[in-house]
A and B are shown apart, each in its own frame.
Chain A
């Protein structure tokens, strides 16, 4: 049962095609990976889903409801939250305040403060940031900042989490921890759609993978199928050969 469904999504930036008739779907409870070379349009797709951008044409549905063209805060209220490729935390607020922000505004305006604080503390513990409530977000290490961003997104009671290169910039040990965290998130019943370049991680954790190239979906399937897909290999090998020359 798809929780998120996109049909023929197109996005033009002037003459540049960032998304060309992309069909996609994510089923409830899945972890779906989105990969592709740089500039393939992955973050653009997330922007279209989260409401940062409106599609030139096509439609996006969430839980059966058409969310095409809605504003980010409206989409958030309906249950989609995201993290950003370049972390967008509230740097001068504390760790707790960041998560509290998600709790207070993410669902409905009338959530009670004390309940929100309790939920925030629990989430911080869940992502492994307990005991750092009073620390300013900008003083955290990169790995912790990413955890905080995830906690903040989850605080909005999201049913679908869009993770944009959550593992970028992390060392191998941190990557492993991040993978575990994503598994725990799925365990909670939250659906995950994630963009990633760290192949080992995303191939290991995803139920399904989508491959974008120049704004077009060129392949879709299980990690095994993708690893053997000729088009995908060509695209990635082609890039490697180009890099070597």
Chain B
């Protein structure tokens, strides 16, 4: 049926557009202002967090609120090892440590389902925050730490590379057998178990892998902020925002997650500068409106509009 397939021009646009965008982004440091680069790095950071979060929590329906913990681990690795090891190593170790901690967390919490899992992850993230704070105050004698600064262009490129790798890994996983197994777990964990899926192994591995890039992003962004403390590094907002962004854009597809993260980060920037007093309030209203009226996110809106279009214009 010809009407069910998009015209050739739209299909080729779908292929060309991302490549164009990547070229633009890749060459940006040559002509864009420092402010733009910093804003873009910020967007990349949220894309990494959102897409990483959705790799596990999307298909499995296990809503994790521990993203801040893994992001924060990367930040602290940067703070502690930043002047001891070369930058790429620090970034890698940030990701690795996140992965290992996530492995441990997954192993200990794998019997928890639904709401219990969610509040466990939140409690864990907060425990880490308060524990690091207590340790720093009582053992190390400081509260905050200074992070070795790195050239903003390097930060930009590092985040660009990380974002690309995150999206690539997320895409590959979703199309893989592992992703299929995870989706089954989300639909009916019992059934998946009975159909031969080692649900514990699948959950733990996917969860741990999804946190790797969160850790690397943290290690990179720390060098941008230069001063960090537990409230900054493990800020619960880093756990909630990815969830909100994924829902806003459309949790089911990576494109939706990217759009959601980008849109809300840009929106936050705008609101912060224009309405500093109403910024948080507007966020709350947007969140509520999205959850109530747009459960499928922007992607669902796009799908609805597409089907209207097809019904009205295509015979």
Contacts and interface: CB of A to CB of B under 8 A. Distances in A.
A156 B187 contact: no
B183 interface: yes
Given A72-B190, A89-B188, 18 more contacts: A71-B193, A72-B194, A73-B198, A73-B199, A76-B196, A89-B187, A91-B187, A91-B188, A93-B183, A93-B184, A97-B180, A101-B184, A105-B184, A107-B196, A109-B177, A152-B195, A155-B195, A156-B196
Interface of B: 177, 180-181, 183-184, 187-188, 190-199
B181 A105 contact: yes
A52 B193 CA distance: 9
Given A90-B184, A101-B180, A50 B191 contact: no
B194 A82 contact: yes
Interface in A76-102: 76-77, 81-82, 84, 88-93, 97, 101-102
B33 to A, nearest CB: 45
A106 interface: yes
A77 B196 CA distance: 6
Contacts of A76: 193-196
A101 B185 CA distance: 11
Contact of A73 (B180, B183, B188, B193): B193
Contacts of A105: 177, 181, 184, 192, 195-197
Nearest to A90: B187
B307 to A, nearest CB: 16
Tell me the interface secondary structure of chain B in the complex: helix
A104 interface: yes
User: Which 3 A-B pairs have CB atoms at the shortest separation, nearest pair first?
Assistant: A105-B196, A90-B187, A88-B191
A72 B196 CA distance: 7
Interface of A: 50-52, 71-73, 76-77, 81-82, 84, 88-93, 97, 101-102, 104-107, 109, 152-153, 155-156
A73 B188 CA distance: 14
Contacts of B181: 105
Nearest to B189: A88
B191 A89 contact: yes
Contact of A50 (B188, B194, B199): B194
A84 B190 contact: yes
Contacts, number: 70
Contacts of A106: 195-196
A152 B190 CA distance: 14
Nearest to A91: B187
A237 B134 CA distance: 69
A93 B188 CA distance: 11
Contacts of A156: 195-196
Contacts of B177: 104-105, 109
A54 to B, nearest CB: 14
Nearest to B190: A88
A134 to B, nearest CB: 12
16 contacts: A73-B193, A73-B194, A73-B196, A73-B197, A76-B195, A81-B194, A82-B194, A84-B191, A90-B187, A93-B184, A101-B195, A105-B177, A105-B181, A106-B195, A152-B195, A156-B195
Nearest to A50: B194
> Which one of A51, A72, A91, A107 has the greatest number of beta carbons of chain B within 10 Å?
A72
A52 B190 contact: yes
Contacts of B193: 71-73, 76
A109 B196 CA distance: 9
A186 B188 CA distance: 28
A122 B192 CA distance: 21
Contact of B195 (A51, A81, A91, A109): A81
Contacts of A153: 195
A90 B194 contact: no
A235 B193 CA distance: 35
A152 B192 CA distance: 11
Contacts of A101: 180, 184, 192, 195
A82 B195 CA distance: 9
A102 B187 contact: no
B187 A92 contact: yes
Nearest to B198: A73
B64 to A, nearest CB: 20
> Which one of A104, A152, A153, A155 has the greatest number of beta carbons of chain B within 10 Å?
A104
Given A104-B180, A109-B177, A93 B187 contact: yes
A9 B180 CA distance: 35
A118 to B, nearest CB: 17
> Which one of B191, B192, B195 has the greatest number of beta carbons of chain A within 10 Å?
B195
Nearest to B191: A88
Contacts of A107: 196
